[in-house]
Amino acid sequence: MQKELPDHYRPWMEIANKLPQLIDAHQLQAHVDKMPLLSCQFLKGHREQRLAHLVLSFLTMGYVWQEGEAQPAEVLPRNLALPFVEVSRNLGLPPILVHSDLVLTNWTKKDPDGFLEIGNLETIISFPGGESLHGFILVTALVEKAAVPGIKALVQATNAILQPNQEALLQALQRLRLSIQDITKTLGQMHDYVDPDIFYAVIRIFLSGWKDNPAMPAGLMYEGVSQEPLKYSGGSAAQSTVLQAFDEFLGIRHSKESADFLYRMRDYMPPSHKAFIEDIHSAPSLRDYILSSGQDHLLTAYNQCVQALAELRSYHITMVTKYLITAATKAKHGKAKHGKPNHLPGPPQALKDRGTGGTAVMSFLKSVRDKTLESILHPRG
């Protein structure tokens, strides 16, 4: 990925490249306050705009949460707010850190000719959290990579239904199942690279937003943009196109509360990603086609995809239990083995049982997993 902006934007990059140190020294806000107000007109092309959104989103999260959740900044100064809103409008993204910033834009290869694997990847912009932060971002990027054959399989399967070609559909469903299983396996690398105590006490706050967050009930004032504070959700895995696309394709229907949240998260995706999910939604129904075909081998292949997706969601629940619920309990009882950085005023309380997106995370994930399992098809007869 591109990792440098044009020279005009050096004031942004100089701060962004020292972000963890500036936050640790409580100096980020002072540095941002002195930044010149720069226009986005010198950003050329989509990649520079995406990199600018990444840089400005990291500056924003660091600025708001520099002093921890006890003293979040209530006003984003105009020299940050105006260009951030400008580049966000150009990209069709909200002016907050989103999944496509943190993960999809925020990696580069150490050796450009080397493989796309964790040893050859590095992040472009960082928060405090050291190796655990890098691990969290890069493992998540590899999860997205593992999903690529699955996303391609959705397109192949949709074309196979339109033709119709049952053999091609069967092969596409098998590729989808293998991709989902590979996602689950890749997600397991979190255990090797991300320390739960550091994720909970250090990293998590910088992914938190100002909607459904008791630490910032009024939202954030974007100076020069709006007379009223604005509310945006923090980062969430629900902002990844992957699982939402799989759900639409497999015809999985979630409870109203979960569906409303998932649907809202589509506004945090790049517009082309959101459009892809909507295209799958409007394509012919896979479930209807399989039931009307009467072909047991198609029904079995479909059910194996649903089962694999439910297993991925169960595994996600075990990860959230380790990195959130258990880590929260340890932090509360003072058992976290890593001393928290001295500037953090204790573990975050406002989101203790909530995801960074603001959901009551365990009930949400269990509901989504259970509704996935309920989608298993039974032969007619």
**What pLDDT is stored for residue 337 in this prediction?**
54
Domains and CATH numbers, the chain: 7-333+348-374 (1.20.58.480)
Q: Which of 218, 196, 184 is nearest to 320 (CA)?
A: 196
pTM of the model: 0.92
Q: Determine whether 122 is exposed, middle or buried from the number of CB atoms within 10 Å of its CB (0-12, 13-18, 19+).
A: middle
Annotated binding-site ranges for heme b: 316
The helix or strand, by DSSP H or E, that contains position 83, with its residue range, turns out to be helix 78-91
**What pLDDT is stored for residue 360 in this prediction?**
75
Residues of the chain with pLDDT under 70: 1, 335-359, 381
Annotated binding-site ranges: 316
Give the three-class secondary structure for 75. strand
What CA–CA distance (Å, rounded) separates 68 from 240? Answer: 26
**What pLDDT is stored for residue 339 in this prediction?**
46
**What pLDDT is stored for residue 379 in this prediction?**
79
Say what angle helices 241-250 and 166-187 make with each other, to 10 degrees. 140
What CA–CA distance (Å, rounded) separates 120 from 190? Answer: 16
**What pLDDT is stored for residue 325 in this prediction?**
84
**What pLDDT is stored for residue 343 in this prediction?**
42
| Sequence-distant (≥ 6) Cβ neighbours of residue 217 within 8 angstroms | none
**What pLDDT is stored for residue 3 in this prediction?**
86
Give the three-class secondary structure for 221. strand
**What pLDDT is stored for residue 129 in this prediction?**
97
**What pLDDT is stored for residue 351 in this prediction?**
53
